A = this chain, B = another copy of it.
Amino acid sequence: MIAPVQTLSPTNAPLKTNAQRLNETLQYSCQWGATSDGGMNRLSGNDDDKKVRDWFADETAKCGCTLTVDTMGNMFAVRPGQNNDMAPIALGSHLDTQPTGGKYDGILGVLSAMEVLRVIHENNVTTYAPLAIVNWTNEEGARFPPAMLGSGVWAGEFTTDYGHNRTSLDGTTMKQELERIGYLGTTPCSFEANPLSAHFEVHIEQGPILDAAEKPVGIVKGAQSIRWYRLKVDGREAHTGSTPMDRRNDALLAAAKMIVQVNKVVTTGPLFTRGARGTIAVIESGPQSINTIAGEVKMSLDIRSPFDDDVEEIERLCAQGFEAINREHGTLFQMDCFWKSPATNFHPQMVDCVRESARDVDCTHEIISGAGHDR
């Protein structure tokens, strides 16, 4: 996270962003996609997305930016610097939201970048490197799963073809919608063809740590190591009334003990102290009849830690516990890891920049991001 940006104007006076203008501009931009309960519903590629994109293009142009739109619709509003052979230093996030999203997730990242741009422009600062204000396409992935699609293609995680062919529930593809709203650009979507020197993002905290510590901002040093699993427990359906307790293979009872086991692993000893997390949040049990013992349970498991080794250890201890529980109940379990995201350490020089900025608002709280694309 970056605190209100302080840099030097041509007269060497410290520059400050204007919090009130930032908030007013953010609220203004939320007219497109606002819901009646004060939230946002601005799915990637819809008409509101087009409107906010058009507005973004206009506003950044007023501050001397030239817009580049790549083949995934990612928008790079670039303001020239002193050394225009350098790749721009980027600030940004995403303007799309979940269907029941808020006004700050993503939107704050783009709008605070725009506020920085305005202050720099008003003060006639020419930055060392060019400055890019970035709006990434379909970062939420709510309409076109998966999440982080535009940035993922740019980073080489997905091919452009893959990105183009993501399909919404009504059968429309990402590419069709980008074309329809006029944001299917021609610049290749690639960190090699269209590089950035660095990328900073302001993001609201989605956990309670800063809030509890009463800190306005935190310095994010990296992102957690994350693994996601599908779990399946197979037992035996039987009548709840006529089947004695010691003759059961109750898949839901075994599953319940597995949920407790995960919690025990991550709340014990050094794993807990070092910030481990383990959660089962999705559960589906069959046949869902009040008087039939569950024969099958499916669950998801989400484990995290700032450290890859700890995630490995959590996985091992969970699996070991699951083994014992399923042996006790005569049930069978499967544990299938379907997503791994190793721990990411942000570049020390960039973290130093943020640290320096944050000091100005008397904040030295350093944290590891607990989320994926949210910081």
Contacts and interface: CB of A to CB of B under 8 A. Distances in A.
Contact of A290 (B239, B272, B302): B302
A294 interface: yes
A252 B280 contact: yes
Contacts of A239: 206-207, 370-371, 374
A247 interface: yes
Q: Pick from A224, A243, A292 the residue with the most CB of B within 10 Å.
A: A243
A20 to B, nearest CB: 28
Most chain B beta-carbon contacts within 10 A, residue among A208, A242, A289: A242
A8 interface: no
B207 A242 contact: yes
A69 interface: no
A226 interface: yes
A209 B242 contact: yes
B253 A272 contact: no
Contact of A242 (B253, B259, B260, B369): B369
A12 to B, nearest CB: 39
Interface string A292-309: 111000001010100000
A260 B263 contact: no
Nearest to A297: B283
A279 B370 contact: no
Contacts of A289: 281-282
A285 interface: yes
Contacts of A259: 252-253, 256
A172 interface: no
Contacts of A255: 256
B226 A245 contact: no
A302 B252 CA distance: 14
Q: Which 10 A-B pairs have the closest CB atoms?
A: A207-B242, A242-B370, A241-B370, A256-B259, A256-B256, A240-B279, A290-B300, A206-B239, A241-B371, A206-B242
Given A206-B241, A253-B259, 16 more contacts: A226-B241, A240-B277, A242-B369, A243-B370, A245-B263, A245-B272, A246-B267, A250-B263, A252-B280, A252-B281, A253-B260, A253-B263, A256-B257, A279-B293, A282-B290, A291-B371
